[in-house]
Structure 1
Amino acid sequence: MLLLWVPVLAFGHGGENHGQAAEPTAAVSYFSAEASSGKYELLLKHGPLAPGRPATLTLYISDYETNAPVDSAALQVSVAGYPNLVIKASKIEPGIFQLRGIFPDTKDYSLMVSLNSKAGPDLLQVSSVKVGTALPGAVLEQPENGAMTGSWLFGVGGVVAGVLLTLLVRRRPKPGLAVSVLVLAAFLPVTSFQKVQAHEGHAAQATAMAASGSFRMEKETQFLYSVLTQRVTSGDFEETVALFGTVLGAPEGMAAIQSPQSGKLRALQVRPGERVAKGQVLALVEQQINAEEQISLEAERNLVEAEYAAAKVHYERLQRIADIAAQKDLSEAKARFQAAEKNRILYQHNRGSAGAKLVQVTSPIAGVVAPFSYTAGTFVSAGETLFQVTSLEKVYVEAQLPAMDELKLQQVTDYYLTHPSGSGASYGLRLLSAAQTVHTENQSRRLVFEVLNPKGELKIGENLRVHAVLPAASGRISVPREAVIQVGGKEAVFVKDNAETVRLRHILKGQDNGRETVILIGLEEGERLIVSSVYQVKTIYLNR
Structure 2
Amino acid sequence: MRKRSLSLFAMGLTLPALLPVISCSSHSADPAEESASVPSASVARVQRGDISHMLSLAGQFQPYQVVDVHPKVSGFMKKINVDIGDKVRKGEVLAVLEVPELQAQLEASAFDMAQARAEITRAQHEIRRAEAVHAAEHLNYQRLLDTSKAQPGLVAQQELDDAQSKDLSSASQVDAAKAAADAAQQHAESAHANNEREQAIQDYTHVVAPIDGVVVWRYADTGALIQSGTNSNQQDLPIVRLAQSTLLRLRMPVPEDDVQYIHEGDTIRIRIDALSRSITGKIVRFTRNVNFETRTMETEVDVDNRDLSIAPGMYANARLAMASVHDVLTLPVEALVIHGSQQMVYVVDAQNRVRIRPVVVGLQASKLAEVKSGLEEGDRVIVGGQDKYSDGEQVTSVLVPSQASEEQKESGGVIDMKADDSNGGAQ
Pair in the same fold by TM > 0.5: no
Structure richer in helix, relative to its length: 2
Answer 1 or 2: higher relative contact order, Cα 8 Å, separation at least 6: 2
Give the TM-score range, shorter chain. 0.3 to 0.5
